[in-house]
Amino acid sequence: MKKPSIEELYREHQPEAIEKRLNATSKPQNISDAVLGGIDGCITTFAVVAGAVGAGFSASVALILGFANLLADGFSMAVSNYEAIKAQREFREEARRTEEEHIDMVPDGELEEIRQLFHKKGFSGDILEAIVATISQDRQLWIETMLTEEHGLQKMDISPGKSAAVTFCTFLMAGAVPLLPFFATRLDMQWQFILSAGLAGAVFFSIGMLKSLVFAKPILLSGLSTLLTGGAAAALAYLTGYLLRQAFGIG
């Protein structure tokens, strides 16, 4: 995300521009789902490949293990993401129902909660009472204020299904890349693994660059950070496979 200039910031903070921006419907972003799926897909798949190569398995075995892991782990991760977001939404709805009941049953107590919450923010006297009166006049505003200020729950517009789909698709796309060299049957195992490692490294670095562009971070630093994370996971998998191969005397 490119940082705006001083002139752009000034234009964006004019009263008309602010009103337009605040009234616009905010669109949920799935960048985090894409980054999570891409990194985990490439790391886990290449880790399986590295472990298979370290154990001395053939290219066909590495390919079978890689694709089996790609589909199973991708599906598992998508379902986990779906259930996690769904649970967050359900928790917020349960908190909403609780606040609605409390407002109906003990309105004075809920008013006092609003009063104390905003008193902690530095409001007092007539201003504080005006805030309490304004919020309590609108039931939905009252409930949303309690959810945000008391429970720390922000309004969620994220679709569990969409998040799961984004995670699954990026997992498959990124995770399939390290497996491609093993289709080149004319190459020996060593070259297949070297090409797989190179492609995996390129995926890691590219995802890091994507994060830097979205969140305005240094491109090189973000790319190298993600590359090192993936490389460390692959190295551990390769070392584990190699050590187990030596321990069990696999030829």
- With vertex at residue 233, the alpha carbon angle to CA 229 and CA 235, rounded to the nearest 5 degrees, is 115
The domain of 50 spans 31-248
Confidence grade of residue 68 (pLDDT, cut at 50, 70, 90): very high
| HEC readout, 20-70 | HHHHCCCCCCCHHHHHHHHHHHHHHHHHHHHHHHHCCCCHHHHHHHHHHHH
Confidence grade of residue 19 (pLDDT, cut at 50, 70, 90): confident
Q: What's the whole-number mean pLDDT along residues 172-192?
A: 91
In a domain, 10, yes or no: no
In a domain, 1, yes or no: no
Distance CA 120, CA 11 (A): 33
18 versus 243: which is more confidently predicted?
A: 243
Q: Would residue 221 be called left, alpha or beta, if left means φ above 0 and alpha means ψ between -120 and 50 degrees?
A: alpha
pTM: 0.76
In a domain, 12, yes or no: no
Identify whether the C-beta of residue 245 lies closer than 8 Å to the C-beta of residue 54.
yes
Confidence grade of residue 185 (pLDDT, cut at 50, 70, 90): confident
Distance CA 195, CA 175 (A): 14
Confidence grade of residue 53 (pLDDT, cut at 50, 70, 90): confident
Distance CA 190, CA 182 (A): 10
Terminal Cα distance for the chain, rounded: 51
Query: In a 3-state reduction of DSSP, which class is residue 186?
Result: coil
Distance CA 190, CA 16 (A): 63
In a domain, 19, yes or no: no
Question: For position 251, what pLDDT does the model report?
Answer: 58
Please state the domain count of the chain. 1
Tracing tokens 């705006």 back to the chain, one arrives at: 4
Residues 71-103: tens digit of each pLDDT: 999 999 999 999 999 998 899 999 999 999 999
Q: What's the distance, CA 117 to chain centroid?
A: 31
Q: Would residue 247 be called left, alpha or beta, if left means φ above 0 and alpha means ψ between -120 and 50 degrees?
A: alpha
Angle between helix 107-119 and helix 139-149 axes, rounded to 10 deg = 50
Query: In a 3-state reduction of DSSP, which class is residue 16?
Result: helix
The token pair at 25 is: 């419907």
Side chain identity, residue 79? V
Range of 6-10, 48-52, 77-81 with top mean pLDDT: 77-81
Query: In a 3-state reduction of DSSP, which class is residue 241?
Result: helix
The token pair at 54 is: 């370290």
Residue 61 half-sphere exposure toward CB, CA atoms < 13 A: 10
In a domain, 234, yes or no: yes
Nearest of 107, 106, 131 to residue 118 by alpha carbon: 131
Distance CA 205, CA 180 (A): 18
